């Protein structure tokens, strides 16, 4: 969930411990429920819900969990009044950071996010201070094992992908937001499965960290933010070596 660093450990991603996976499923369920409440229960007519379901499936979230999250949106539970808030700031070494949250209490969430930035040598900024450094894109991930690189790349480009990037163990496919669903469906129809599927934010330029203390603090900042129950995604401009 932290931008480019996610591609470094595909095998670790597939072997998440149960506790962490359970937390991820809870966050994904919340995202599905909120999307369904705001735009309707049918993903064919609710693009936000379709993206949330795609993301959940890429994380191997069981269909029963997805169905329950959608059904919850149609219930009479008035306690779940979540709002989407994006916090922006700088991490150690001036790394740009965007933190996307779904919260039912911004008076709880804001101080927690600020504390994380302060504790790990960052600085929480004003809305808009770093978002202009990112482009919103569709992002898909497909494992490379067993694939013909040229054939796969040509297919993805033909379907409308803007770029196909070799990330070591996986291909990262970038699309415009408008073309995301078509590219995903076309690749899925060809039999490809996804380890990543989302509408995300890609940094226009990346930043490297060389100071060991900055690297340690950046890793801790990302971990603490992602562990927060209200945080859905963390986007950074940090390019890990």
pLDDT of residue 9: 53
- 165, β-bridge pairs: 172
Predicted confidence band at 2 (pLDDT cuts at 50, 70, 90)?
very low
Largest CA distance in the chain: 52
Domain boundaries, the chain: 3-73
pLDDT at 12 over 60: no
| H or E element, residue 190 | none
**Residue ranges in the chain assigned as alpha helix (H):** 10-14, 18-39, 47-58, 63-73, 106-119, 149-158, 180-189, 212-227
Write the burial class of residue 187 (CB in 10 Å: 0-12 exposed, 13-18 middle, 19+ buried). buried
Write the burial class of residue 160 (CB in 10 Å: 0-12 exposed, 13-18 middle, 19+ buried). middle
pLDDT of residue 1: 39
State the average pLDDT for the chain: 90
The pair phi, psi for residue 197, each rounded to 5°, is -160, 110
pLDDT at 11 over 70: no
Per-residue tokens: 29: 């369920």
The Cα–Cα gap between 240 and 209 comes to 8
Q: What is the pLDDT of residues 189-216, one digit of tens each?
A: 999 999 999 999 999 999 999 999 999 9
155 or 11: which carries more pLDDT confidence?
A: 155
Q: Are 96 and 237 in contact (CB under 8 A)?
A: yes
Predicted confidence band at 3 (pLDDT cuts at 50, 70, 90)?
very low
Predicted confidence band at 21 (pLDDT cuts at 50, 70, 90)?
confident
Q: Are 144 and 171 in contact (CB under 8 A)?
A: yes
For the domain made up of 3-73, the CATH class stated in words is: mainly alpha
Predicted confidence band at 22 (pLDDT cuts at 50, 70, 90)?
confident
pLDDT of residue 81: 83
Is residue 235 classed as helix, strand or coil in its secondary structure? strand
Q: What is the pLDDT of residues 73-122, one digit of tens each?
A: 887 554 468 899 999 999 999 999 999 999 999 999 999 999 999 999 99
20 or 103: which carries more pLDDT confidence?
A: 103
Strand order in the sheet with 170-175: 163-166, 170-175, 134-143, 196-203
Q: Are 147 and 171 in contact (CB under 8 A)?
A: yes
**Dihedral angle computed from the Cα positions of residues 54, 143, 61 and 23, in that order, rounded to the nearest 10 degrees:** -110
Q: What is the pLDDT of residues 51-77, one digit of tens each?
A: 999 999 999 999 999 999 999 888 755
Predicted confidence band at 13 (pLDDT cuts at 50, 70, 90)?
low
The pair phi, psi for residue 237, each rounded to 5°, is -95, 10
Look up the pTM and report it: 0.88
């Amino acid at each position: 969930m932290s931008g480019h660093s996610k591609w470094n450990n595909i095998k670790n991603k597939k072997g998440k411990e149960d506790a962490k996976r359970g937390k991820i499923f809870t966050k994904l369920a919340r995202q599905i429920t909120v999307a369904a409440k705001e735009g309707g229960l049918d993903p064919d007519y609710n693009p936000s819900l379709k993206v949330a379901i795609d993301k959940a499936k890429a994380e191997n979230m069981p269909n029963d969990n997805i169905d329950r999250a959608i059904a919850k949106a149609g219930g009479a539970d008035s306690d779940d009044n979540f709002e989407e808030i994006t916090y922006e700031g700088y991490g150690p070494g001036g790394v740009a950071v965007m933190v996307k949250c779904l919260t039912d209490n911004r008076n709880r969430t804001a101080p927690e996010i600020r504390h994380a930035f302060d504790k790990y040598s960052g600085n929480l900024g004003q809305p808009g201070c770093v978002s202009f450094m990112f482009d919103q894109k569709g992002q898909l991930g497909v494992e490379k094992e067993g694939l013909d690189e040229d054939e796969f790349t040509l297919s993805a480009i033909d379907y409308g992908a803007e770029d196909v990037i070799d990330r070591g163990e996986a291909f990262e496919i970038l699309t415009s937001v408008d073309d995301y669903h078509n590219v995903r469906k076309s690749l899925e129809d060809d039999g490809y499965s996804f380890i990543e599927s989302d509408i995300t934010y890609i940094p226009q330029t990346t930043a490297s960290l060389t100071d060991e203390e900055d690297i340690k603090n950046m890793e801790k900042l990302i971990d603490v933010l992602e562990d927060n129950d209200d945080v859905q995604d963390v986007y950074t401009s940090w390019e890990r070596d």
